[in-house]
Amino acid sequence: MMRAFNAAMIALMLAPIVLVVWMSFTPEAFFRVPLDSFSLRWYREALSYPDFVDAFVLSAKLAALAALMATALSFLAAYGLVRYRLAGRGFLLGFFTSPLVVPAVVFGIAMLQFVNRIGLYNHLVGLLFAHVVVVTPYAIRTLHATLQAVPEEMEWAAMVLGATRLRMLARVTVPLAARGIATAFLFCFLLSFSEVTMTIFMTGPALQTLPVRIYNYLTDRIDPTVAAVSSLVVLVSLCLVFLANLAGAFKRLPR
Amino acid sequence: MSLEIEGLEKHFGDVRAVAGVDLAVGRGEFFTLLGPSGCGKTTILRLIAGIYPADRGRVRLGGVDVTEAPIHARNMALVFQNYALFPHLTVFENVAFGLRMRRLAREEIRRRGREALELVRLGSLAERYPDQLSGGQQQRVSLARALVIRPDLLLLDEPLSNLDARLREEMRGEIRELQRRLGVTTVLVTHDIQEAFAMSDRVAVLEAGRILQTGRPAELYLSPASRFVANFVGPTNEVALAAVRTVAEGTLATTSGGLAIKVAARLETNAGGKAAWLMIRPENLRLFVAEGETDNRYEALVEDVVYLGAATSCRLAIGDLRLTAAVPSTIGARLAPGARVAVGWSAEDGVIGRDG
Amino acid sequence: MERAGWLFVLPLALVLAAGYVWPLMQAGVNSFHPNTPQGIDLGHWTDANYTKLLDPLYQSILERTLRISLIVSAITAVLAYPVAFFIARLKPKVQPWLILVYVSPWLVNTVVKSFGWSLLLRSNGVINTTLQHLGLIDAPLHLMLNETGVIIALVPGHFMFVLLPLWAAASGLDPNLKWAAGTLGAPPWQIFLRVTLPLTLPSLIAGLVINFTMNMTAFAAPAILGGVRARTVSFLAFEVNLEQLNWPLGGAIAVGLLAFTLAVVWGGQRLAFLAVRSGRTRP
């Protein structure tokens, strides 16, 4: 009975996603679950719709940059927190992870008003910084745990053997933390790639990420093109989830 | 190169880990910092290596002050207790690490890396990764990695404590042999007395961040300067003294039980009421001695006999004074609890001192 | 030594100060200025934006949001318990994979998922057409563009925030405790009530706190499945900020929502702490 209940719950979790993917293969111009005939018609439609293609490129670029920045900055910060007895370490760690408890709506409103004020509205930089803030807590937590597991003796050994701190970081610490770094990067990429709420608030018409574009498309008209685009999003996400799982990401999920 | 340390101090928060240490290690000498855990010996090593900055004091290497020198610029090598081999590098790359940091030519790195591995007899394992090696092999790799850079000073931090007893003894000899052959000045940190005695030219005994006594192993064992050193470097019989009197042959000590004991060494009589003590090593107590055969001779009651293989440990009572004697088992076989036996020792075997 | 450490921490601290603390404070400042057709009047200060939040219209939206969030959290708590314990009893090797199945939908963006739900729930959607086809209903059920639709989408949407901590607590539970209780004569429901529940309560509360705040501030699901007839606070915030362009009022909404969230998180932590203590001292 428990097994059946679990199966039902999984069905509930996956139902909307599965249905979107299924629906995307319909040959018809309206939403009826295709049972006997399938077509890639709406994928062709989606890929010839420049707004979606642009949005996809923007989302991928944004996610990559945000993940890169968040991972790099968080690596440095986590290293500082783990290796140095800084006054207020606990406070700093709390500060770096605090965007986690700020609702995306709240941060979205704040960013909307902020980027307008400093003239970064409709500008990638504003969007990038916002995404870095949103994904940083995950990077910090992952990398903090990762670096705590790197024995300090390894670093000392490298430096006694003549490595400066920078060369030691590049040759010893980074390779030893590679798994955690990959995890943090993939996680940040995924989170940025799927971020909707904050982005929808702050983004201008010229810079619509894919989820925002899909949302706007849905409020405008509705045809299976959007299902095809969504399926591509799901595909990308699932590939990255798979990669992240290979890197051991889900063993370190923030709980 | 020679190493001199002067007034070295280090605090961690409120804890005084190193409380003013001076020492001098000669060129090519094998010097050991010996002490119980928490005595600050590892901290001293890390201060020498530059891992921690010193709060106070100087470190000089070959006459050059390196106290402020960055860790990577000291040309020292440190072998860690857990070896700290880089798990993502092969054995060869581990050994070559220091050479690469010195930006040597590729050819030279290969040659010296190979040589270092041959030195520790691991030439065939160059392409393995550390986790594919046994503990002893890992130990050798870390040694090769340290020696390959031709360090001015070799620092060993409890390098043998993760090995089993037999391997440990083997590695002791091997390290000592390498050190002599290469003539590298070496500082070893250990809590193992046998290890310290077996390997070192000189040993410093530490407690609570201070050096209590420095000397050759035999000096420490035979003439410890304090009760702590006496007890730390080996089992001993400690006797509290009620009075000491300087006589022509040395000192006449009286125990609280009124027993008079002759000691060859002299002790200052006026020491402001500080308690005097006498110690005798168990193996210096002789049994079945005839009258006049030893400077000190007493009738004792055998209380307990414990067979330990080559030696037998025997607890004796002379009045209310309890002593333990370690005698060859051939003699120990003649003993039984409750028996009376004559015990004696030479005046030279007694060490006296005052708390202080 | 310590100064070098600050060099590592500083870049991130500066980015967060500029891109996180400052914007939030800016919105807070804006919320105390009056709104004019020309924009924010920075020359004057007012608390009108906050008194406006007490308007019955906004109050009813807040009430609806709270109602939806509470219902979703309650349903989630009931559903997550059996799943967490089911997973915790599986072989250790299988557990992460099953958890992955529950976590991965969270990494697909909420617009796509809400769109999927709308395909299921709309009046000519999969559920209604199937039920009608089977002759179980005559007229389509109203499953979306109301609170029901939002709740249906939010329960699976934020399920993992409760499942993860519960699973961790459940797999960390010493099975001996239950056997001990069993040998002492406690029937299964008593074991659950007196042993399992108190020991997992702190984790449940921690999970529910996140779940609840996520429900409160969800955007895509209420927007797509609730629509204007079931507007929630975040949807209102969207209208005020992006359609009415009333940023001072929008700022007030943000401040209010943030204060509310922090209060819930703080209260939840207190509650979890108390639960740990009472769990320990329970006879």
3-state secondary structure of B47: helix
C 239-258 residues inside an 8 A Cβ radius of A: 241-242, 247, 250-251, 253-254, 257-258
Q: Which one is predicted more confidently, B349 or C39?
A: B349
β B311-318/B321-328 pair status: antiparallel
SS3 C176: helix
User: How does pLDDT run across C68-88, given as a tens digit for each residue?
Assistant: 999 999 999 999 988 998 998
CB–CB of B51 and A161 under 8 A? no
**Taking CA atoms, what residue in B is nearest to A84?**
B52
Q: C111 with A211: CB under 8 angstroms? A: yes
* CA C34 vs CA A203, C42, C252, C254: distances in Å: 24, 8, 11, 16
Higher pLDDT, B211 or C228: B211
Identify the pLDDT of residue C197: 81
Residue B28 in this model has a pLDDT that exceeds 90 = yes
The alpha carbon of residue B82 is apart from the nearest alpha carbon of chain A, in Å, by 8
pLDDT, tens digit, for every residue of B2-18?
999 999 999 998 889 99
pLDDT, tens digit, 9 for 90 and up, residues B50-101:
999 999 999 999 999 999 999 999 999 999 999 999 999 999 999 999 999 9
Place of tokens 């410890």: B224
Contact state of A77 with C13 under an 8 Å Cβ cutoff: yes
Identify whether the C-beta of residue B230 lies closer than 8 Å to the C-beta of residue B193: no
pLDDT at C279: 56
Question: Does the structure show a pLDDT above 60 at C215?
Answer: yes
Q: How many degrees, rounded to 5, is the angle at CA A187 between CA A183 and CA A191?
A: 175
Q: Are A158 and B86 within 8 A, CB to CB?
A: yes
Per the listing, tokens 């075997």 go with B349
- Condensed to tens digits (0 to 9), the pLDDT of residues B262-272 reads 988 887 666 56
- Per-residue model confidence as pLDDT tens digits over A72-91: 999 999 999 999 988 888 99
Instruction: Determine whether the interchain pair A5/C83 forms a contact, defined as Cβ–Cβ distance below 8 Å.
Output: yes
Query: What per-residue string of b and e applies to A128-139 under the rule 16 or more CB within 10 Å gives b?
Result: bbbbbbbbbbbb
Report the gap between the CA of C180 and the closest CA in chain A (Å).
Answer: 23
Q: How confident is the model at residue A254, as a pLDDT? A: 39
User: Which residue does chain C place closest to A104, by CA atoms?
Assistant: C217
CA distance B85 to B98: 12
Closest partner residue to A9 among C30, C79, C104, by Cβ? C79
Q: How much is the pLDDT for C244?
A: 86
Q: How far apart are CA B86 and CA A170, in angstroms?
A: 13
Three-state DSSP state, C94:
coil
pLDDT winner (highest mean) among B163-177, C65-79, C265-279 = C65-79
Distance from CA of C151 to the nearest CA of A (A): 13
CA distance, residue B260 to nearest chain A CA (Å): 55
pLDDT band at B340 (very low <50, low <70, confident <90, very high): very high
Q: What angle do CA A43, A48, A50 make, to 5 degrees?
A: 120
CB nearest A159 (choices: B72, B82, B87)? B72
pLDDT value of residue A253: 45
Using a CB-CB distance cutoff of 8 angstroms, which residues of chain A are in contact with residue C241?
109, 112-113, 201
- What are the chain A neighbours of B73 within 8 Å (beta carbons)? 162
Question: Taking CB atoms and an 8 Å limit, are A156 and B75 in contact across chains?
Answer: no
* Cβ A66 vs Cβ C230: under 8 Å: no
Preferred mutation among B10, B47, B51, B72 to probe A, highest tally of A CBs within 10 A: B72
What is the Cα–Cα distance from A39 to A26, expressed in whole angstroms? 6
Residue B82: which of A153, A160, A168 has the nearest Cβ? Answer: A153
Q: Using the beta-carbon criterion (under 8 Å), do C24 and A102 form an inter-chain contact?
A: yes
- Looking at residue C1, what is its pLDDT? 56
Residue B306 has pLDDT above 80, yes or no: yes
- Residue A80: its chain C contacts at CB < 8 A? 5-9
- Report the residue from B50, B71, B84 with minimal CB separation from A154: B84
- pLDDT confidence of residue A60: 94
What pLDDT was estimated at residue C280? 54
What is the structure's pLDDT at B333? 85
Q: Report whether B319 contacts B254 (CB < 8 A).
A: no
Q: Which residues of chain A have pLDDT under 70?
A: 248-255
pLDDT score of A65: 97
Averaged over C154-173, what is the pLDDT?
A: 89
CA-closest candidate to residue A207, choices A137, A140, A125: A125
Rg (CA), chain C: 23
What is the percent of chain B where pLDDT is above 90? 64
**DSSP, residue by residue, C135-158:** TS-SSPP--SSSHHHHHHHHHHHT
